[in-house]
A and B are shown apart, each in its own frame.
Chain A
Amino acid sequence: MLTVAGGPGSDAAHRTRPAGWTLRAVVSAHAAAIAAQPVFAGVYLSGDFDGLRWHALGADVVTSIGYLQVIVAVVVWVRLRQVWPFLATSGVVAAETAQYFAGLDGALWLHLPLGVMTVAALVVLFIAVWLRPLGLRPGARREARDA
């Protein structure tokens, strides 16, 4: 069972703020974009030459959203004093950058497993941003009382 703090009943300070909603939107777009990457890769390896162009375009889109997500996560960190989205995003973006160059170099031994792991990490992050409250991080005392 997941115990989720900050449900509909929590107080105003705990409610998800615009920065939080922006993060949820960016992470959602990011997850949707990355889900298309294995599809394009499969289309390409089935012999469809254009699949590679789609896969390359998808890589540009995914990494661009990733860098945008870093910026939003920094805002969340500063405004809402929640650092975990930034740490998680940094990890995902580092993996995506390595993934990008592994793909360009044809280093499939790295590109395939890292790609699967990056998708999995982004799915976990997607679940986390939608299940956890993205409001102002409450103080320790308040946190205990809320919970």
Chain B
Amino acid sequence: MRERDAGRGVTRRRVLGIGGALGLMAATGLSASAALARRPSITGAELRSAVPLPPPFQVPLPLPPVLKPVATSDGTDRYEITQRETTAEILPGVRTPLWTYEGTFPGPTIESRRGRPVTVTHRNTLPVPTVVHLHGGRTPADSDGYPTDLVLPEGWQEPHQQMGHGMQPGHGMRDPRAVVTTLTRSYTFPLDQRPTLLWYHDHRMDFTAPAIWRGLAGLQIVRDDAEDALGLPAGPRELPLMIADRAFAADGGLAYPALDPTLRVRPGVHEPYVAGVLGDVILVNGAPWPVHEVDAARYRLRVLNASNARHYELEAVTDDGRRLDLVQIGADQGLLAAPVTHRLLPVAPAERYDVVVDFSGVPVGGLVRVVNRLGTGRTRDVLAFRVVREAADDSRVPATLSADLPSWRPSDAVRVRDLAFRVGRMGGGHGWLIGGLPFDPARSDLTTGLGDVEVWRLVADVHHPVHLHLAGFRVLSRSGRPPLPHDAGLKDTISLRPAESVEIITRFDGYRGRYLFHCHNAEHEDMGMMANLEIT
């Protein structure tokens, strides 16, 4: 009895001791998680520039030149673009070699009209093969820029595949359906689609991310009479904003952690960057943290996130800390039915947002900074607007913007597909998989009939901005709940955040053929996260 008495006393102290220890472990665990985890979460690793960075809001905002057609016969506008190396002064006093369309970064803007076909003949004078994809374009498969439909540079020698260091399935693999040309290729875009901001960029198998990073991206705008008649801000009060992050090496070149810096043989990036490459310099239309002088009036900002992996949550803040309304009028695939007002606008890689901002309440001389709430330090700033004069403003934002948005219902769907986007093993290393498989151009993944309505249910492990070629879609739900305000309208890229799922609905119409869907984190895309969609 005495022993048990003593034992019981020890037990009570022990119980308190054990409880205290477990409590301490729990508190330590949660604090460590709070301290170590990225809050908000960010997928990717940031490169640090090795050159001094300029202060923000000094450089004027450049506007990409509008490309002139070389011919406008038979109802078609014909353009020519030479892909070439050049050197540009992006940071003041720093010479940066670039790969460009027509010598500029961003490439020249192509202005087009709905239903009026455009043919662009690309001439590749770069040291590597290229592929041009018009992102968001309703384009026949043979002009959609399938990743193996290469345009080889003149005298291109197929490099010997260095086997043995992780040549993954799909990488370096032959595609029997590839249509390869040498030096030039003409892409024809019927543009039978809703007016919107598109962008063209390189889409070469395994090397898309570094090619875009080096400068292969440009804008194309589709307009129509109905949109022109709305009275939206136009002319100098309509600004395309291509936002992209980059980092600069000590020699002034763009830093990129490619395994093969020549971008000829071995795809992929060094291990710390497999989740995505982030830069520490924010470029808008190719200028670092630029400033633009504006009237005290409404402006239409056509925002594109052309970053490889960086997400933004944009807000427009005045000198006195007031946040201006960001009135969204359009999504990836054109005008919304009605405007949606945001204070904070999330923009994932490859997404476009058409936004009207009213500077009329800002005093002349005031600065409106556009900041990224997901950024830290220098990457928090994006660009700024300096209000320099009072001005008349006859623009307006109509309560009804469009009436032609498709209204597919889930009951219209002939099939429902579940697709998981997550990390995995690919060959010898890390890869990014869709439905457990890395991309293989020779494999048939999904087949659908022309005109079929489908519901896709996408699940992500980390951030995956999922892009569907050819077809625009609508968002039905996010993680089982209603879509978010910025999911409105017709989209072609949907941002999934960690452990998030979305349901989208679309109708595959337009053209038959082999198309793609993929993650538009460009590093994920190069490391397997693409799949084939065959429309029959």
- Interface set of A (CB-CB < 8 Å, partner B): 3, 5, 44-49, 52-53, 56, 106-110, 112-114, 117, 120-121, 124, 144, 147
Q: Which residues of B contact A53 (CB under 8 A)?
A: 480
Q: Which residues of A contact B461 (CB under 8 A)?
A: 45
Q: Are the CB atoms of A110 and B33 closer together than 8 Å? A: yes
Distance in angstroms between the alpha carbons of A49 and B504 in the assembled complex: 12
Q: Kindly state whether residue B443 has any CB partner on chain A within 8 Å.
A: no
Given A47-B418, A144-B5, A147-B5; A113-B33 close (CB under 8 Å): yes
Q: Write 9 A-B pairs (CB below 8 A) sorted by A numbering.
A: A45-B461, A46-B420, A48-B420, A49-B459, A107-B39, A109-B33, A112-B33, A117-B29, A117-B30
Q: Kindly state whether residue B501 has any CB partner on chain A within 8 Å.
A: yes
Chain B residues 147 to 200 lying within 8 A of chain A, measured CB to CB, are none
Shortest C-beta distance, B169 to chain A (Å), equals 20
Q: Are the CB atoms of B8 and A5 closer together than 8 Å? A: yes
Shortest C-beta distance, B286 to chain A (Å), equals 34
Given A46-B420, A53-B480, A147-B8; A110-B34 close (CB under 8 Å): yes
Distance in angstroms between the alpha carbons of A127 and B33 in the assembled complex: 28
Distance in angstroms between the alpha carbons of A47 and B499 in the assembled complex: 10
Whose C-beta in chain A lies nearest to the C-beta of B497? A106
Q: Are the CB atoms of B22 and A3 closer together than 8 Å? A: no
Distance in angstroms between the alpha carbons of A144 and B7 in the assembled complex: 12
Q: Which residues of A contact B498 (CB under 8 A)?
A: 106, 108
Query: Interface majority SS on A: helix, strand, loop or mixed?
Result: helix
Top 8 A-B pairs ranked by shortest CB distance? A47-B420, A109-B37, A49-B457, A3-B7, A113-B33, A147-B8, A49-B418, A109-B33
Whose C-beta in chain B lies nearest to the C-beta of A95? B26
Q: Kindly state whether residue B87 has any CB partner on chain A within 8 Å.
A: no
Q: Kindly state whether residue B1 has any CB partner on chain A within 8 Å.
A: yes
Q: Which residues of B contact A113 (CB under 8 A)?
A: 29-30, 33
Shortest C-beta distance, B438 to chain A (Å), equals 15
Given A45-B499, A47-B419, A113-B29; A56-B34 close (CB under 8 Å): no
Chain B, 485-500, contact with A by CB distance < 8 Å: what is the 0/1 string? 0000000000001111
Distance in angstroms between the alpha carbons of A52 and B480 in the assembled complex: 8
Distance in angstroms between the alpha carbons of A60 and B35 in the assembled complex: 29
Q: Which residues of B contact A114 (CB under 8 A)?
A: 30
Partner of B4, one of A106, A109, A147: A147
Q: Are the CB atoms of A147 and B1 closer together than 8 Å? A: yes
Q: Which residues of A contact B499 (CB under 8 A)?
A: 44-45, 106, 108
Query: Interface majority SS on B: helix, strand, loop or mixed?
Result: mixed
Distance in angstroms between the alpha carbons of A1 and B34 in the assembled complex: 37
Distance in angstroms between the alpha carbons of A49 and B457 in the assembled complex: 6
Q: Kindly state whether residue B60 has any CB partner on chain A within 8 Å.
A: no
Given A3-B11, A106-B497; A44-B459 close (CB under 8 Å): yes
Shortest C-beta distance, A93 to chain B (Å), equals 15
Q: Which residues of A contact B122 (CB under 8 A)?
A: none
Q: Which residues of B contact A120 (CB under 8 A)?
A: 22
Shortest C-beta distance, B17 to chain A (Å), equals 14
Shortest C-beta distance, B346 to chain A (Å), equals 13
Q: Which residues of A contact B34 (CB under 8 A)?
A: 109-110
Q: Are the CB atoms of A49 and B501 closer together than 8 Å? A: yes
Q: Which residues of A contact B500 (CB under 8 A)?
A: 106
Whose C-beta in chain A lies nearest to the C-beta of B420? A47
Q: Are the CB atoms of B39 and A109 closer together than 8 Å? A: yes
Q: Are the CB atoms of B22 and A124 closer together than 8 Å? A: yes
Distance in angstroms between the alpha carbons of A84 and B436 in the assembled complex: 48
Whose C-beta in chain B lies nearest to the C-beta of A144? B5
Q: Are the CB atoms of A52 and B420 closer together than 8 Å? A: no
Chain B, 1-31, contact with A by CB distance < 8 Å: what is the 0/1 string? 1001101100100000000001000100110
Chain B, 405-438, contact with A by CB distance < 8 Å: what is the 0/1 string? 0000000000000111010000000000001100
Q: Are the CB atoms of A117 and B26 closer together than 8 Å? A: yes
Distance in angstroms between the alpha carbons of A47 and B422 in the assembled complex: 8
Shortest C-beta distance, B513 to chain A (Å), equals 27
Q: Are the CB atoms of A3 and B4 closer together than 8 Å? A: yes
Q: Kindly state whether residue B479 has any CB partner on chain A within 8 Å.
A: yes
Q: Are the CB atoms of A52 and B37 closer together than 8 Å? A: no
Distance in angstroms between the alpha carbons of A48 and B500 in the assembled complex: 12
Q: Which residues of B contact A48 (CB under 8 A)?
A: 418, 420, 459
Given A114-B30, A117-B26, A117-B29; A108-B41 close (CB under 8 Å): yes
Given A108-B498, A147-B8; A47-B435 close (CB under 8 Å): yes
Q: Which residues of A contact B11 (CB under 8 A)?
A: 3
Q: Which residues of B contact A106 (CB under 8 A)?
A: 479, 497-500
Shortest C-beta distance, A137 to chain B (Å), equals 14
